């Protein structure tokens, strides 16, 4: 798919569909009349007869058009002008893509200026149109051998038409940036939608290496022997039940910017989570192929950091395992000595994410990062709490948390804070070892994070994102079909693009 910017030239090649935005209650159709008097007349009649009111998502379309550069013209309802915010514009773009797909329109032209308000600038709209056009057009159909019952094809090109001449230069640069961000989100979706029999830890390492070579990132992959030598026993114990070896992927970008600071990203990479001996119920277990979402968000963000040429040193760590029940799986009650020397009693083999993240968190100390951000599909409890709309955010640095919550509002990848009060740490103390990997059954998202906190390098600002609910969706959404969402990439990109000494405070 291609998204481009143009003006209202009369010589443009013919499109299949021309989409114009319409705010509910708008009386003045002068702009529309100028572009297409024939269609404007029909639209006026439809509005007068209350066939079309302009509420969000509503469509009035006609083949009777005076605009010669498209075979069909459509008016897309945007709701009240005062209500159009960035979030509703995103949905409107989703409607444009859905409308075009439904009409099998390959070449789409959109009158961008009709979507602008006092609160949404031309630059913002150009960025959102680019981003959501790519995201909403995404399909994962490589394993379909029968192309007969395919869902409607998404458009091949979307041309944004604007007369905002003074803004064009800035609009183009925003579009380039949005294009790069979307490409990284789609990369994340592609890797994540791969099933467990394909995307196992060594394969994910192979993909990371390929991406690193393309984007000129440095990439180290620690395999079984190295992990044993290093004493990464959290990672090793979880993978014990799998015939496939585990890996720890370490990507590095921008070493030359080290003087400006290092940020470390860590992602949970469980390529499939059966639960281990504490096996999960079979209902919805197939969704556990998405238990690698955190690792993939980190890998895709590293690729994006290189594309955006961020002036920052970023390290991406992805501990990758398969939590399986064959081979020599760990038993409930096993005691393991983690990379940082603490001992853990494994009460439940399904609480595996925290074991692999723990080793990666303490390993991150070697980079002396200004901050550590981790993303993990860590707890079913977080999914229950926030559904698929919000991730949980917890950490030891309020400034860092506040910045990320704000970035979530801006990007649409929302997160909401849960507390990390010391009292919650009591229930992960073990009788036989330093810690146990589950709490008392309550506040599961918080106790899981309290466990992680035990492994965070001293005096390091750190934030944990529990993305269990948001990493994949089970219903089509306006900007994403069922499956992996690529959550985290846009959020990380926003935080890292604005990184500075103001982003964090000194952690306790």
Query: Where on the chain is the footprint of ligand BES (CB under 6 A)?
Result: 273, 291, 348, 350-353, 377-381, 383, 438, 444, 468
Residue 316 per-residue DSSP state:
E
Please choose which of Zn ion, ligand BES, none residue 29 contacts, taking the beta carbon within 5 to 8 angstroms, the exact cut-off set by kind: none
The residue range among 36-44, 209-217, 348-356, 401-409 that interacts with Zn ion, by the rule CB under 5 A, is: 348-356
What's the CA dihedral at 461, 372, 490, 319 to 10 degrees? Answer: -150
Minimal distance in Å, beta carbon 313 to ligand BES?
30
CA distance 7 to 429: 65
Please choose which of ligand BES, Zn ion, none residue 123 contacts, taking the beta carbon within 5 to 8 angstroms, the exact cut-off set by kind: none
CA distance 235 to 352: 9
Residues in CB range of 494: below 8 A, 6 or more apart: 407, 410, 411
Nearer to Zn ion, 252 or 352 (CB): 352
Please choose which of ligand BES, Zn ion, none residue 381 contacts, taking the beta carbon within 5 to 8 angstroms, the exact cut-off set by kind: ligand BES
Please choose which of Zn ion, ligand BES, none residue 438 contacts, taking the beta carbon within 5 to 8 angstroms, the exact cut-off set by kind: ligand BES
Separation of CA 334 from chain center: 35
* Total residues found in the chain within this entry: 508
The residue range among 76-84, 204-212, 257-265, 270-278 that interacts with Zn ion, by the rule CB under 5 A, is: 270-278
CA distance 47 to 349: 61
316 bridge partner residues: 251, 265
Minimal distance in Å, beta carbon 374 to Zn ion?
14
Q: Which residue has the tokens 């919805």?
A: 284
Please choose which of Zn ion, ligand BES, none residue 373 contacts, taking the beta carbon within 5 to 8 angstroms, the exact cut-off set by kind: none
Burial of 148 (0-12, 13-18, 19+ CB in 10 A): exposed
| 466 lies in the binding site for Zn ion (CB under 5 A) | no
> 134 to 173, contacts with Zn ion by CB under 5 A?
none
CA distance 27 to 36: 16
Nearest residue to 495 (alpha-carbon basis) of 361, 375, 382, 319 = 375
Minimal distance in Å, beta carbon 246 to Zn ion?
14
CA distance 282 to 409: 35
Alpha helices in 393-506 (DSSP H): 398-411, 444-453, 489-497
Sign, CA dihedral 371-372-375-379, equals negative
Count other C-beta atoms under 10 Å from residue 433's C-beta.
Answer: 16
Please choose which of ligand BES, Zn ion, none residue 468 contacts, taking the beta carbon within 5 to 8 angstroms, the exact cut-off set by kind: ligand BES
Sign, CA dihedral 61-64-67-68, equals positive
Nearer to Zn ion, 351 or 401 (CB): 351
Nearer to ligand BES, 362 or 379 (CB): 379
Please choose which of ligand BES, Zn ion, none residue 444 contacts, taking the beta carbon within 5 to 8 angstroms, the exact cut-off set by kind: ligand BES
* CB contact burial 363-372 (16+ within 10 A = b; e otherwise): bbbebebbbb
CA distance 21 to 78: 6
Please choose which of ligand BES, Zn ion, none residue 383 contacts, taking the beta carbon within 5 to 8 angstroms, the exact cut-off set by kind: ligand BES
Structure tokens at 127: 């960025």
Minimal distance in Å, beta carbon 473 to ligand BES?
12
- Give the largest CA-CA distance in the chain: 81
Minimal distance in Å, beta carbon 353 to ligand BES?
5
* Cβ atoms of residues 171 and 5 within 8 Å: yes
| 322 lies in the binding site for Zn ion (CB under 5 A) | no
Nearer to Zn ion, 107 or 354 (CB): 354
Whose CB is nearest to ligand BES?
A: 380
| 270 lies in the binding site for Zn ion (CB under 5 A) | yes
The residue range among 2-10, 120-128, 351-359, 434-442 that interacts with Zn ion, by the rule CB under 5 A, is: 351-359
Burial of 94 (0-12, 13-18, 19+ CB in 10 A): buried
Tell me the catalytic residues: 280, 354
Nearer to ligand BES, 158 or 204 (CB): 204
Which of 207, 273, 307, 454 is close enough to bind Zn ion by CB under 5 A? 273
| 353 lies in the binding site for Zn ion (CB under 5 A) | yes
Nearer to Zn ion, 245 or 353 (CB): 353
Q: Which residue has the tokens 């001992």?
A: 343
The residue range among 61-69, 88-96, 346-354, 420-428 that interacts with Zn ion, by the rule CB under 5 A, is: 346-354
Minimal distance in Å, beta carbon 441 to ligand BES?
8
Minimal distance in Å, beta carbon 326 to ligand BES?
18
CA distance 333 to 323: 16
Minimal distance in Å, beta carbon 419 to Zn ion?
23
Count of residues of this chain found to bind Zn ion when the rule CB under 5 A is applied:
6
Nearer to ligand BES, 357 or 489 (CB): 357
Minimal distance in Å, beta carbon 199 to ligand BES?
15
Please choose which of Zn ion, ligand BES, none residue 164 contacts, taking the beta carbon within 5 to 8 angstroms, the exact cut-off set by kind: none
Nearer to Zn ion, 278 or 301 (CB): 278
| 291 lies in the binding site for Zn ion (CB under 5 A) | yes
Structure tokens at 40: 């404007």
The residue range among 117-125, 137-145, 344-352, 368-376 that interacts with Zn ion, by the rule CB under 5 A, is: 344-352
Nearer to Zn ion, 278 or 362 (CB): 278
Long-range own/partner contacts, residues 63-66 (CB < 8 A, 24 or more apart)? 64/38, 64/39, 65/18, 65/36, 65/38, 65/39, 66/36, 66/37, 66/38, 66/39
Q: What are the residues binding Zn ion (CB under 5 A)? A: 270, 273, 291, 350, 352-353
């Amino acid at each position: 798919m291609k998204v481009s910017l143009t003006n209202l030239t009369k010589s443009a090649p013919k499109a299949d569909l021309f989409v114009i935005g319409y705010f509910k209650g708008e009386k003045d159709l002068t702009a529309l009349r100028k572009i297409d008097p024939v269609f404007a007349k029909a639209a006026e009649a439809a509005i007068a007869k209350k066939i079309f009111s302009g509420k969000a998502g509503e469509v009035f379309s006609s083949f009777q058009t005076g605009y010669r550069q498209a075979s069909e013209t459509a008016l897309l309802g945007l709701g009240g002008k005062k209500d159009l915010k960035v979030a509703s514009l995103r949905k409107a773009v989703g409607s444009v893509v859905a409308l075009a797909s439904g009409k099998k329109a390959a070449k789409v032209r959109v009158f961008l200026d009709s979507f602008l308000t006092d609160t949404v600038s031309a630059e913002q709209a150009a960025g959102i149109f680019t981003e959501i056009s790519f995201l909403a057009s995404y399909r994962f159909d490589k394993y379909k051998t029968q192309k007969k019952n395919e869902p409607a094809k998404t458009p091949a090109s979307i041309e944004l038409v604007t007369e905002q001449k003074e803004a064009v230069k800035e609009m183009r640069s925003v579009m380039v940036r949005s294009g790069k961000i979307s490409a990284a989100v789609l990369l994340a979706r592609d890797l994540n939608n791969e099933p467990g029999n394909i995307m196992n830890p060594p394969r994910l390492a192979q993909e990371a290496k390929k991406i690193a070579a393309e984007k000129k990132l440095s990439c180290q992959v620690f395999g079984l022997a190295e992990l044993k030598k290093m004493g990464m026993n959290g990672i090793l114990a979880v993978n014990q039940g799998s015939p496939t070896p585990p890996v720890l992927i370490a990507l590095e970008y921008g070493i030359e910017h080290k003087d400006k600071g290092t940020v470390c990203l860590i992602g949970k990479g469980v390529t499939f989570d059966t639960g281990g001996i504490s096996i999960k119920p079979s209902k919805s277990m197939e969704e556990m192929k998405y238990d690698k979402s955190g690792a993939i968000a980190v890998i895709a963000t590293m690729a994006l950091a290189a594309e955006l040429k961020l002036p920052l040193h970023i390290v991406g760590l992805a501990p990758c395992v398969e939590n399986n029940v064959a081979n020599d799986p760990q038993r409930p009650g096993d005691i393991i000595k983690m990379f940082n020397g603490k001992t853990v009693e494994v009460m439940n083999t399904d609480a595996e994410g925290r074991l692999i993240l723990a080793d990666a968190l303490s390993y991150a100390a070697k980079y002396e990062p200004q901050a550590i951000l981790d993303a993990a599909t860590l707890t079913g409890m977080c999914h229950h709490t926030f559904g698929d709309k919000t991730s949980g955010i917890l950490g030891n640095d309020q400034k860092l948390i506040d910045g990320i919550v704000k970035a979530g509002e801006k990007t649409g990848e929302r997160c909401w804070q849960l507390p990390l009060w010391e009292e919650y740490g009591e229930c992960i103390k073990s009788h036989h070892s330093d810690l146990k990997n589950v709490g008392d059954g309550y506040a599961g998202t918080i106790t899981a994070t309290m466990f992680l906190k035990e492994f965070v390098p001293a005096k390091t600002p750190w934030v944990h994102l529990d993305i269990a609910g948001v990493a994949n969706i089970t219903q089509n959404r306006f900007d994403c079909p069922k499956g992996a969402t690529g959550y985290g990439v846009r959020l990380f990109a926003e935080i890292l693009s604005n990184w500075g000494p103001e982003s964090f405070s000194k952690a306790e």
